[in-house]
Structure 1
Amino acid sequence: MSTGPHGTAFSGRVGWGERPAVLVIDLVRAYTEPGGPFLLPDPGPAVAATGELVAAARAAGRPVLWTVVRYTRGLADGGLFVRKVPALAAFAEDAEGGWGEIAPPLKPEPGEPVIVKQYASAFFGTSLAATLHSAGVDTVVVAGVSTSGCVRASATDALAHGFRPQVVRQACADRSVQLHDANLTDLDAKYADVTDLDEALARLRS
């Protein structure tokens, strides 16, 4: 619990429910491969940790869901977001490079939903909440990129939609360690539980 100037005002726990699902946020080649417009300084550990989460969920029969960002030719559905972040043009349907493809060796299996989104949150303007609710999911185990952007927005909206967000520290990454750590600290204080990989794996397998 918080011991700062606000006492115990923050850092309560939402905990784990009975039916977790793994949600992999935007872990695509644009963040992981040289030349990618959003290349991270060290994406390898997050990719490996996400792979472990996905494997554990599959082995236990837990749902695995993925998100990607995709825009129509000419970015007509990108709104002001593509103006604010011009590099998002790499995710247009006519863009070269294949930067919007899921980062190897990760790969969705047949039957695993791939949610297409245009904005930061995996829930905004998508069918994700309905898909999770219909599957009986109560806990969303969040992995992917970036911690300060789409991971944060998706975890925050997961809480708003009545799910228990569990953000896995080792399975997320950002442009710097400082951004990563600061956003995990704030998420853990207000919008989600930040958990370690070992605990998340144990929960998925139980």
Structure 2
Amino acid sequence: MTGHQQQDYERAGFDGRLTPGTSPALILVDPARAYVDPDCPLYAGAEPAADAMRLLLADARRAGIPVIVTRVLLRADGRDGGLFLRKVPVLGVFAEGSPFGEFIEGLAPAPHELTVTKQCPSAFFDTGLAAHLTANGIDTVLIGGLSTSGCVRATALDAMQYGFVPVVVEEAVGDRDPDIHAANLFDIRHKIGEVWPLGRVQEYLASLG
């Protein structure tokens, strides 16, 4: 986005900052093969974001914070897809048995980590995730995943609305169009939460010890 747009938003009052707490969790939103497999219609060229997600995941595990990985999984007949599937029929690639719904290599949750299965964009919608985070004393969520304009944005928005400070990790999210990606990060930064580069998140995680 341009410097003029930045100045205009800040002049209008969209310049608040949220300070992450001391009890974070990592949420990786839908790190699915669909976004890195050229044979899938949802292919988004998201390989660089997947590489950054692997680094982020390794740092989160090293810091000992909770890790949650989400996936979209629909019945083979699609009857649980609701309006989301009707609006975006290509989401049928996440039907049971589809290889495109598998986790990207190196981004699958470990057995002790939480997998959240969802049928809508937000990781929080109808999943019990908010209650899980609250029960574990979480105050901040670090967010990576796909795609920036869809499920990442929806998850960040709901995190803020549930009272968890959302920090979207800039390199660890991606979208099929760089302009859409940039516009959504700009909007998240000014209206929803924080957008931090990976290096800053790594420093934050290191400071927790």
Greater shift after overlay, 29-38 or 175-184? Answer: 29-38
Instruction: Give the distance between the partners of 1:130 and 1:83, measured in 2 at CA.
Output: 29
The match for 2:114 is 113
Q: Against the structure 1 CA distance between its residues 6 and 197, is the aligned structure 2 distance closer, same or farther, given a 3 Å change threshold?
A: closer
Q: How many angstroms does 1:117 deviate by? A: 0.4
Give the counterpart of 1:39 among 36, 43, 48: 43
Match of 1:181 in 2: 182
Question: Are 1:157 and 2:158 an aligned pair?
Answer: yes
| Shift in CA distance, 6/12, structure 1 to aligned 2, threshold 3 Å | closer
1:88 matched to 2:91? The reply is yes
Three-state SS of the structure 2 residue aligned to 1:10 is coil
- Of 56, 61, 65, which aligns to 1:58? 61
TM-score of the two chains, using structure 2 as the length reference: 0.93
Q: Which residue of 1 aligns with 2:140?
A: 139
- Superposed CA deviations along residues 117-168 of structure 1, whole A, max 9, x for unmatched, are 0000110111111111111111100000000000000000000000000001
Task: Indicate the SS of the match to 2:11.
Answer: coil
2:103 maps to 1:102: yes
CA distance in 2, matches of 1:87, 1:199: 35
The answer to whether residue 57 in structure 2 is matched with residue 49 in structure 1 is no
Q: Summarize deviations over 1:94-114 as a string: whole Å, max 9, x none.
A: x43x11111012221111101
Indicate conservation of the 8 Å contact 2:9/2:190, yes or no.
no
| Alignment gaps of 5+ in structure 1 | none
Give 1:23's aligned residue: 27
Q: 1:148, 1:183 within 8 Å by CA — same for their partners in 2?
A: yes
Q: Percent identity?
A: 44
Amino acid at match of 1:128: L
How much does 1:37 deviate? 2.6
- What is the RMSD computed on CA atoms of the aligned residues? 1.3
**Residue 205 and residue 6 in structure 1: after superposition, are their counterparts in 2 closer, same or farther (change >3 A)?**
closer
Matched residue count: 202
* Contact in 2 for aligned 1:69/1:117 (Cα 8 Å): yes
SS of residue in 2 equivalent to 1:110? coil
Shift of 1:9: 1.2
Is the CA contact (8 Å cut-off) linking 1:16 and 1:139 kept in structure 2?
yes
User: How far has the Cα of 1:5 moved from its partner?
Assistant: 6.2
Cα deviation, 1:43-91, whole Å, max 9, x if unaligned, reads 1211111111111111111111100001122111111111111111111
Q: Contact 1:57/1:205 (CA < 8 Å) preserved in 2?
A: no
TM-score by length of 1: 0.94
What secondary structure, in the 3-state scheme, does the structure 1 residue paired with 2:110 have?
A: coil
* 1:71 counterpart = 2:74: yes
Deviation at 1:172, TM superposition (A): 0.4
Distance change in 2, residues 1:60/1:5 (3 Å): closer
Q: What secondary structure is seen at the aligned counterpart in 2 of 1:99?
A: helix
Give 2:129's aligned amino acid.
L
